[in-house]
Amino acid sequence: MDPATFFAQSRLVIVAGKGGVGKTVVTAALARAASLAGHSALVVEVEGSSGLGGHFGRPPLTYDEVELLAAGADGTEGWVRGRAVTADAALLEYLREHGLARVSKRLLASGVLDVVSTAAPGLRDILVLGKVKALEREGGADVVLLDAPAAGHAITFLLSARGLLDAINVGPINAQARDVLELLTDPSRCQVMLVALPEETPVNELVDTAFHLEDRVGVALGPVVVNALLPATGDLAVDPTTAAAEAGVTLRPGEADALAAAAAFRRDRSAMQAEQLARLAEALPLPQLHLPFLFSASLGPAELDVLARALLDGLATVPAPAGTGG
Amino acid sequence: MTETELSLSQLVEHAEIIVCCGSGGVGKTTTAAVIALEAARRGRTAAVVTIDPAKRLANAMGLAGLANTPSEVPGDWPGELWALMLDTKSTFDGLVTKHAADPAQAERILANRFYQNISGALSGTQEYMAAEKLYELRHDFDFDLVVVDTPPTRAALDFIDAPRRLSRFLDHRLYRLFMAPTRGFVRAVNVAAQTLVRTISKVVGAEVFDDAITFFSAFEGMEQGFKQRAVAVEALLKDADTAFVLVASPRADTVAEATYFADKLAESGIGVRALVVNRVHPSFGGALPAAAAGRAAELAGTSLGDLYANLAELDALAAVEEGHLADLAERVAPAPVVRVPMLAGDVHDLAGLALIAAHLVR
């Protein structure tokens, strides 16, 4: 499928996965990929200090939207902007917009939100998702990418709308929850992309999360992103001494062992990763996008470009869904 | 040698409580299990409290079902290994039952929707119940060592002040406000507070509000017991025989998270007693990375060139990882830093745990 088509499928893309799988850098890379495909993108973080800004070489995100990447001068590349959304700030904004500015400050200062959100858990989540929905509706960016909370919480986070609909029958929260649920369950507006590492436990957990999200939340799942795959190398099965003889080189003492050990390590890890990719494909019939393991010290703009291009290459091989004509 | 300089191996032998903390996905649960197993192998009676372990590890530890009380893991070692998986809700239920004045009060609370919300999904409760479970294990059982895994969230360190936060919550001004009408002090509630109550009811609905009021009335008289327990749990966590072990992996983002955890612990007056770094890429030595990279370039296109290129890449990676770790190691000094290499596969049996133990406490 043409990547541009992919990013036009739904305005909201929720990126979810267990902690430590690289969810945040994938969110950033997806934004950069959208930008390279000519779309403008807004990245949203909800947990604080995710490092999203850093991947673009910018400071940490705040509630105020900032530019992370300017649009290309020739118009072929879209801009990327970013912001954080927190429950407290979203509530303040909500109260201000509903003529309750005067009580809003006190409401927060007194810790009332804590007590009330205890009474109706999911309230914080719905405040955040409500704000995300508003961003999606405003349509300021072609694509809104949400760096969702880590796995276990991602499910409760996305289930909050359903839960609140049951708990609260009337009033603005009920309306908010209904709107959010409508957004989450409409594949033309929202899809969830899950991120995993090519390792046993992360794969198991991704599969569990995928079924939970489909069955219990009713969201559409986009391609799965598998992060940190060791790039292919030349033939590492050859014995270093043999290879040295072929190349007409003499190895120093111990060098053959070091080369052999390093080669064995790489082969084992690669074989394990390939096995897990196959398991994932078997357990979950979703297209996979593969991202290379990066050997670099930092994950800044240059590395982001590498990952974004890998995503674009992957998307190009994903079959277009029926009915899109692409 | 001061107390803070004990090696991890010595901690396994002498500590009474070991708390493993760190961000998600760094192998915290496995590390906790390995420490408890190693203690059992050294003749101690050890218990490990796991939170949401991966299924196969849970199976290996005999935790396939939900077990909120410790069960013994059979094995051939001189000590004893016990394991349990934290069940937040039933731990909380137990706490309520314990502090209630009579069974009727306990029943009223357990049936309340507001309570069910707190004890279920509410963030912070899991941390609190982990602390509570730790206290129970210390006092109701006779373990030499209790190892606790902490939830994989940034909020995990709420573990330390969660008990205090809950008692603060029960002390909340809003609580008095909620209680006022039922106590007949309606007039004592000032106008501003009434506006607040009206606003909240308008936003969340009267039903939610009623649930909360019922909960607070049902809870009356129990705050004291909860508060005393909070103080006791905090004292336990700050005890000299309690050791916090920070678990990390050598990636830039997880090291940043671990640094955050170390800072948060320091704020609470708790030092890191050991840093465990999992998933470390091995260095294959031989040549310096730069030299290997040079050889790879010279020999490009040959099999030997490929071998050098791989060696150069892996060694450069090991160097990058050490670079990430340097500041963190300094930050937690003099706590020892223990590196566990990236393993070929996941750990899902006791033999696998023993393999890690060899790296952890050699």
Residues of chain A neighbouring B307 (CB-CB closer than 8 A):
236, 238, 240, 243, 259, 262-263
Determine the structural domain holding residue B241 and report its residue range: 3-163+227-284+324-360
Put simply, the answer to whether A110 touches B212 (Cβ < 8 Å) is: no
Give me the pLDDT at residue B335, please: 94
Phi, psi dihedral angles at A143 (to 5 degrees): -130, 135
Pick the closest to residue B88 from B116, B52, B130, B54 (CA basis).
B130
Q: How far apart are CA A9 and CA A321, in angstroms?
A: 10
In a domain, B352, yes or no: yes
* Token pair listed for B301: 């296109």
pLDDT computed for residue B23 by the predictor? 83
Q: Which A positions 109-138 lie with beta carbon below 8 A of chain B?
A: 110-112, 114-116, 118-123
Question: Could you say which of A22, A202, A295 has the minimum Cβ distance to residue B313?
Answer: A295
Give the ranges where A186-237 is alpha helix by DSSP (H): 200-212
The percent helix, strand, coil of chain A (3-state, each to 5) is 55, 15, 35
ipTM field = 0.87
Q: In the β-sheet with B71-72, what is the strand arrangement from edge to edge? A: B71-72, B80-85, B45-50, B145-149, B17-21, B242-248, B272-280, B337-341
Whose structure tokens read 């349990």?
B84
State how far residue B304 is from chain A, nearest Cα, in angstroms.
5
Give the residue, A288 or B219, on which the prediction is more confident: A288
Sheet holding A12-16, edge to edge: A66-69, A80-84, A41-45, A143-147, A12-16, A190-196, A224-229, A288-292
3-state secondary structure A44-69: EECCCCCCHHHHCCCCCCCCCCEEEE
Q: What type of residue is A223?
A: P
- Rounded CA-CA distance B30/A170 in Å is 46
Residue whose tokens read 């406490």: B361
Residue B306 above 90 pLDDT?
Answer: yes
Q: What is the pLDDT of residues A26-60, one digit of tens each?
A: 999 999 999 999 999 999 998 766 789 999 999 99
Work out the pLDDT band at B159, boundaries 50, 70, 90.
Answer: low
Q: Is residue B82 part of a domain?
A: yes
Note whether residue B15 is domain-resident.
yes
How far B118 CA sits from the closest chain A CA (Å)?
6
Distance from CA of A288 to the nearest CA of B (A): 21
> Residue B9 pLDDT > 60, yes or no?
yes
Residues 225 to 254 of A: which have CB under 8 A from any B CB? 233-236, 238, 240, 242-244, 246-247, 249, 252, 254
pLDDT in tens, A271-308: 999 999 999 999 999 999 999 999 988 889 999 999 99
| Residues across chain A | 326
What type of residue sits at position A191?
Q
Give the Cα separation of B147 and B73 in Å (integer). 14
**A89 and chain B: CB distance < 8 Å anywhere?**
no
Residue B316 belongs to a domain: no
> In this structure, which amino acid lies at residue B74?
P
User: What is chain A's mean pLDDT, rounded?
Assistant: 88
Site from A18, A112, A229, A250 to mutate, B interface, most B CB atoms within 10 angstroms? A112
Residues sharing a CB contact under 8 Å with residue B243, sequence separation 6 or more, in sequence order: B6, B11, B15, B17, B18, B19, B273, B274
- As for how many domains chain B has, the answer is 1
Residue with tokens 């850093």: A54
Higher-pLDDT residue of A4 and A311 is: A311
CB spacing of B284 vs A258 below 8 angstroms: yes
Give the span between the Cα atoms of B31 and B353, in whole angstroms. Answer: 8
pLDDT in tens, B73-111: 989 999 999 999 888 888 889 888 988 889 998 998 898
When scoring B57, B257, B311, B324 by the number of chain A Cβ atoms within 10 A, the one with the most, hence best to mutate, is: B311
- pLDDT computed for residue A281 by the predictor: 97
The CATH code that applies to domain A3-231+285-317 is 3.40.50.300
- The dihedral sign for the CA sequence A248, A254, A260, A265: negative
Q: Which residues of chain A make contact with B29, given a CB cutoff of 8 A?
A: none
Cα–Cα distance between A272 and A259 in angstroms, integer?
Answer: 20
Closest residue in B to A156 (Cα) is B121
* pLDDT classification of A133: cutoffs 50, 70, 90: very high
For the cut 50, the answer to whether the pLDDT of residue B314 exceeds it is: yes
pLDDT digits (tens, 9 = 90+) for B254-276: 898 899 889 988 988 889 999 99
Query: Residues B16, B239: contact at Cβ < 8 Å?
Result: yes
Q: What is the CATH number of the domain that holds B140?
A: 3.40.50.300
What is the pLDDT, as a whole number, of residue B129?
83
Assigned token pair, A201: 């436990």
Smallest Cβ distance to B172: which of A47, A51, A111?
A: A111
Domain ranges of chain A: 3-231+285-317
Peptide bond into B334 cis (omega under 30): yes
DSSP run (H or E) holding A76: none
Using a CB-CB cut-off of 8 Å, the residues of chain A touching B55 are: 204
pLDDT confidence of A138, banded at 50, 70, 90?
Answer: very high
Question: Does B277 fall in a domain?
Answer: yes
pLDDT computed for residue B163 by the predictor: 62
* Band of residue B150 on the pLDDT scale cut at 50, 70, 90: confident
Burial class (CB within 10 angstroms; exposed 0-12, middle 13-18, buried 19+) of A322:
exposed
Specify the pLDDT at position A297: 80
DSSP B156: G
How far lies B247's CA from each of A150, A290, B150, B349, in Å? 18, 28, 11, 20
Residue B168: predicted pLDDT: 65
The verdict on a CB contact (< 8 Å) between A247 and B199 is no
Helix and strand totals (H; E) in chain A = 13, 8
Whether B192 maps to a domain, the answer reads: no
- Rounded to a whole number of angstroms, the distance from the CA of A171 to the nearest CA of chain B is 6
Condensed to tens digits (0 to 9), the pLDDT of residues A191-215 reads 999 999 999 888 988 998 999 899 8
CB atoms within 10 A of CB B224: 11
What pLDDT digit, counting tens, does each position of B323-347 carry? 999 999 999 999 999 999 987 677 7
A61-73 pLDDT tens trace = 999 999 999 998 8
d(CA A251, CA A245): 9
Do B204 and A295 lie within an 8 Å CB cutoff? no
Contacts of B92 in chain A (CB under 8 A): none
For residue B263, list chain A residues with Cβ-Cβ distance below 8 A: none
pLDDT of residue A165: 78
Q: Measured between alpha carbons, how far is B51 from A262 in angstroms, rounded to an integer?
A: 35
